[in-house]
Chain A
Amino acid sequence: MSDSSLTFIDELESEAIYILREVSAKFKNPTIMFSGGKDSITLIHLAKKAFYPQKIPFTLLHVDTGHNFPEAICRRDSLVDELEVDLIVAKVQNTIDLGRVKEEQGENATRNSLQIRTLLDAIKDRDIDCAIGGARRDEEKSRAKERFFSHRNRNGEWDPKNQRPELWNLFNGAYHQGEHFRVFPISNWTELDIWQYIEREKIQLPSLYFAHEREVVKRNNSWIPFSDFIKLGADEKIERKKIRFRTLGDITITGGIESNADTVEEIVQEVAAMRQTERGNRIDDKRSETAMEDRKRLGYF
C-alpha cells in the first residue's frame, strides 16, 4: 500500500485527528464548542477516534441561547452520557439577567450576537485556554483566510495583526496569561465532505437534518420553523412544508430548505448538486455583506 492511496476523506480525517491531538498536547484546559449541529457532532466523532482507547480529554461547552431545537438538546445529553465528558452549559439568559447584555427587540430579534458575551464569560470564568470549533473555511467568504489555530487576545477578540502564519504541520499555540485560542480542526472540509463522512462513518444526526413535514413561516426568503419563540408578523402565516435544515443554530433564525432528501445518501446527492451556499438561509448573515466578519472580530465562534 502506498501513501497516495489515502482518499481525500482519509486525508482530511487524518489532518483533523492530528490537530485534535496537538490541542491536547499544547493546552491545559481545552473545550469543544458544541452546538448540536452536524459539524460539532462530526468533530466529536473525530475526537473519539483521536484519543481511542482513552476518553476524550476535553470538556463540552454549549452556549445555550434558550432558543433550542429540543432534539438537538437530547442528542447533546446522550452524547455526554456516552462519552463520559463534562458538559458546561453557558446560558445567554444568565448573561441577560446579570445585565451584561440587552435582549434585541423586534420581529427579527435573535440572541445570536448575545452569545458572544456568554461564550467569552464562560471562557474566562472557567480558565479555558482553547475552544475547539467546527467552523469550516468554505462556509463564508471571511473564513477563507482563517487559520487552524486562531489567537484571541485578553478580551477574546480576534486581532488581525496578531495572527500567526501556519507552515507545514507546525502550529504555534503559545499564549500569554488570559489569552486563548480557537482551533478549527475541520477547516479544510466542505459541506459535501462532511456529508460523505457522515455517510461513511454512519454518524447519527438529529432528524432535523432530514426532510420532514414541518410547520414553518416564510421570513426573508427562508423557511423558519414555527416555535414558541416566533412572533408572527401581520402578513405571516404558518404553513406545512417538507423541510430539512442545512445548519442548526438558534431556532429563531435558522432557515430550512424545501427538500425530499430523508436519508444520508439522498442528502449527499442533494448537496453535491446544491447551488446555494449553506449559510444562505441564515437570517443573521443576510443583514449585511460583512455581517460575519464583524461578529468574528468581536469573538464569535
Chain B
Amino acid sequence: MESQLLRFTTAGSVDNGKSTLIGRLLYDSKSIFEDQLKSVEEISRRTAGGDLNLALFTDGLRDEVEAGITIDVAYRYFATPHRKFIIADAPGHIEFTRNMVTAASTTDTILIIVDAKQGITEQTKRHTFIASLLNLSNVVVCVNKMDLVDWNEGVYKSILTDFYKLTSQLQLPNLQFIPISALKGDNVVNGSDQMNWYSGSTLISLLETLPLDSKLCNVPARFPIQLLLDAGDRKVVAGRVEGGLLFVGDEITASPSGSTGIIESINIDGIEILSASGRMSISIGLSREMDVQRGDILTHSSKLLRLSDKFDAMLCWLSDVDSSIETTYDLQLGTTNESASIQQIHHKIDVNSFKSYVDKKPLSMNDICKVEISLVKEIAFDAYSDNQATGSFILIDKRTNATVAAGMIL
C-alpha cells in the first residue's frame, strides 16, 4: 500500500523494439493475464513459428493506426512490489511529434530506445529534443538488441559518447543508459549473463528508484481554483495543489483578480489538515471577504504569478488544420479559459538538428515553434520551466472545438 506511482513514456524509431520492450516489461513482471497470454500464444503459433511474440501484447492498436484512426496515446499498467507504473505509449510514426508530446506531457520520465546496430538516428534526435522541450526529469536511453552486436561493450560505449555529444546543447537533468536485449530479456527485468562488463542496474530496478516529481516540492505554491463549494456562510474553494506547500494561516493572493486574504482551513474529505502539498486535491477555507472565482490561482502573497495579456511560448501544432493569424482561439491554462490569438511566429525548430529557422508560413501538424500569444484579457501564469501546471496551455479552435496546439510559456 505504501508504494508510489511512476508515469513514463517510451519512444523508439520504427523496429527498434519498443513494442517488444513493453511486452517484455509486462511479461517478466508477470503482469500479463492468462487469457491475454493465450491469445498471443495462439497468434504467435500461427505467424512467428512458435516463439512468443512479445510485441503482440501492445499490438491491439496497429490496425487502427492503419485504418486512419487517431490514437495519440495508449496506456498500460503494471506494478512491482516497489512501485506502480503507468506507461503512456505513443504509437504511430506519421503524427509522431504530436503523439509523443501528448504522451510525454503526462509523465516525468522517458525511455528512449536505440538500436545497438543502428546507433543514433534522426528519430532519436527528435525524441531527445522533445524530452528536453517538455522538461522531463528523467531520460533513460535503452540501447536495445545488444544480442545482435555480440553483447559488445565497445558498441555500447560509442553510442553513449555520441549521445553525450548530441545532447551537449540540451537540458536533460537526469540522463541514464542501459544496454538491453528486449527480445532475450537481458537487463530488462532480469539481469544479463552476457554483459558482465555492465555493473549498473536493470531497467526495472532503475524505474523503481528514479526520483519522483522532484520539481514539485521546491517551487512556490500554486493552487488553481476549480470551484467554489457551497459551504453555508463559509467561503470554500476546491482545487489541486500544483506545487509547493500551503499552510493554514498563510497570507495569500488570488490572481488575476488580486484579492488577498488568509488560508483559514485546509480540508481533505471533511478532515481538517494543517498543510497541503503538490498534487493533493483539497478544499481551502478562505477569509470571507476574499472575492475569488474559478480561474483564479491562489499563491503566497510574496511569490506572485506573472500577469500579462501577452507572452512568448513554445508551441507544438497538433491539428491537421493549419494555424491562422486571424483566428481567435480559446486558450485553456489550468482552470482559466480566455480568447487568444497567435500574434507572431518568431521561428520554427527543426527537431532533427535542433536548429531554429525563420518561416512565416502558418503552423501545420507537428510543427514546433516559438510564438507570441496575445490575449483579450490579462491572465496569471508562470514560465513552464518553473511550474508545468501553471505554465502549460492548449489552444482550442472555437468553430470545431478541436484541441489544435499545446503550448509551454517561456
- Do the two chains belong together in a single complex? yes
In the complex the two chains form, what is the Cα distance from A165 to B34 in whole Å? 32
Residue of B nearest to A6 (CB): B279
Contact between chains at A1 and B275 (CB < 8 Å): yes
Q: Which of A51, A174, A190 has the most CB of B within 10 A?
A: A174
Whether A77 is near chain B, meaning CB under 8 Å from some CB there, is no
Contact between chains at A200 and B1 (CB < 8 Å): yes
Which listed residue, A52, A145, A274, touches B269 by the CB 8 Å rule? A52
Contact between chains at B4 and A142 (CB < 8 Å): no
Contact between chains at B5 and A8 (CB < 8 Å): yes
A232 to chain B, nearest CB (A): 27
Whether A236 is near chain B, meaning CB under 8 Å from some CB there, is no
Binds A, one of B113-121, B190-198, B229-237: B229-237
Contact between chains at A12 and B5 (CB < 8 Å): yes
Q: Which of A2, A162, A166, A167 has the most CB of B within 10 A?
A: A167
Which listed residue, A22, A174, A274, touches B330 by the CB 8 Å rule? A174
Contact between chains at A21 and B227 (CB < 8 Å): yes
Binds A, one of B67-75, B302-310, B367-375: B67-75
Given A52-B269, A137-B77, A277-B36, residue A160 in contact with residue B69 (CB < 8 A): yes
Residue of A nearest to B57 (CB): A141
Contact between chains at A167 and B102 (CB < 8 Å): yes
In the complex the two chains form, what is the Cα distance from A167 to B283 in whole Å? 24
Whether B171 is near chain A, meaning CB under 8 Å from some CB there, is no
> In the complex, which residues 259-291 of chain B have their Cβ closer than 8 Å to any Cβ of chain A?
267-270, 275, 277-281, 283
Whether B326 is near chain A, meaning CB under 8 Å from some CB there, is no
Q: How large is the interface on B (under 10, 10 to 19, 20 to 34, 35 or more residues)?
A: 35 or more
Contact between chains at B4 and A8 (CB < 8 Å): yes
Binds A, one of B141-149, B350-358, B398-406: B398-406
Residue of A nearest to B39 (CB): A289
Whether A275 is near chain B, meaning CB under 8 Å from some CB there, is yes
Contact between chains at B231 and A53 (CB < 8 Å): yes
In the complex the two chains form, what is the Cα distance from A274 to B30 in whole Å? 11
Whether B126 is near chain A, meaning CB under 8 Å from some CB there, is no
Which listed residue, B4, B294, B396, touches A25 by the CB 8 Å rule? B294
Mark contacts of B240-273 with chain A using CB atoms, 8 A cut-off: 1 yes-contact digit, 0 otherwise.
1011010000000000000000000001111000
Given A7-B4, A163-B70, residue A21 in contact with residue B238 (CB < 8 A): yes
In the complex the two chains form, what is the Cα distance from A269 to B214 in whole Å? 32
Residue of A nearest to B98 (CB): A165
Q: Which of B1, B39, B211, B236 has the most CB of A within 10 A?
A: B1
Which listed residue, B33, B72, B99, B231, touches A274 by the CB 8 Å rule? B33
Given A145-B75, A167-B406, residue A172 in contact with residue B332 (CB < 8 A): yes
Q: How many residues of A contact B (CB 8 A)?
A: 60
Which listed residue, B5, B267, B332, touches A170 by the CB 8 Å rule? B332
Whether B105 is near chain A, meaning CB under 8 Å from some CB there, is yes
Binds A, one of B152-160, B174-182, B199-207, B385-393: B385-393
Mark contacts of A36-73 with chain B using CB atoms, 8 A cut-off: 1 yes-contact digit, 0 otherwise.
00000000000001111110000000000000000000
In the complex the two chains form, what is the Cα distance from A289 to B60 in whole Å? 11
Q: In the complex, which residues of chain A have a beta carbon less than 8 angstroms from the beta carbon of B33?
A: 274-277, 280
Contact between chains at A167 and B3 (CB < 8 Å): no
Q: In the complex, which residues of chain A have a beta carbon less than 8 angstroms from the beta carbon of B214?
A: 4
Mark contacts of A188-207 with chain B using CB atoms, 8 A cut-off: 1 yes-contact digit, 0 otherwise.
10101100100010000000
Whether B226 is near chain A, meaning CB under 8 Å from some CB there, is yes
Which listed residue, A14, A137, A164, A280, touches B403 by the CB 8 Å rule? A164
Contact between chains at B227 and A172 (CB < 8 Å): no
Contact between chains at A165 and B102 (CB < 8 Å): yes
Contact between chains at B101 and A54 (CB < 8 Å): no
Contact between chains at A18 and B229 (CB < 8 Å): no
Which listed residue, B34, B98, B213, B392, touches A3 by the CB 8 Å rule? B213
Contact between chains at B70 and A161 (CB < 8 Å): yes
Contact between chains at B394 and A6 (CB < 8 Å): no
> Which residues of chain B have a CB within 8 Å of any CB of chain A?
1-5, 33-36, 39, 60-61, 64, 68-77, 79, 83-84, 86, 98-99, 101-102, 105-106, 211-214, 216-217, 226-227, 229-232, 236, 238-240, 242-243, 245, 267-270, 275, 277-281, 283, 294, 318, 330, 332-335, 388-389, 392-394, 396, 398, 401-403, 406
> Which residues of chain A have a CB within 8 Å of any CB of chain B?
1-4, 6-15, 17-18, 21-22, 24-25, 49-54, 137-138, 141-142, 144-145, 160-170, 172, 174-176, 187-188, 190, 192-193, 196, 200, 274-277, 280, 289
List 10 other contacts, CB 8 Å, given A25-B227, A54-B229, A144-B60: A4-B211, A8-B83, A144-B74, A167-B105, A168-B106, A168-B389, A170-B394, A172-B332, A175-B401, A176-B401
A-B contact pairs, 23 of them (CB 8 A): A1-B245, A2-B277, A3-B217, A3-B277, A3-B278, A4-B211, A6-B5, A6-B280, A14-B281, A17-B240, A52-B283, A53-B229, A53-B230, A161-B68, A161-B70, A165-B72, A167-B102, A167-B403, A168-B388, A190-B77, A276-B34, A277-B35, A289-B39
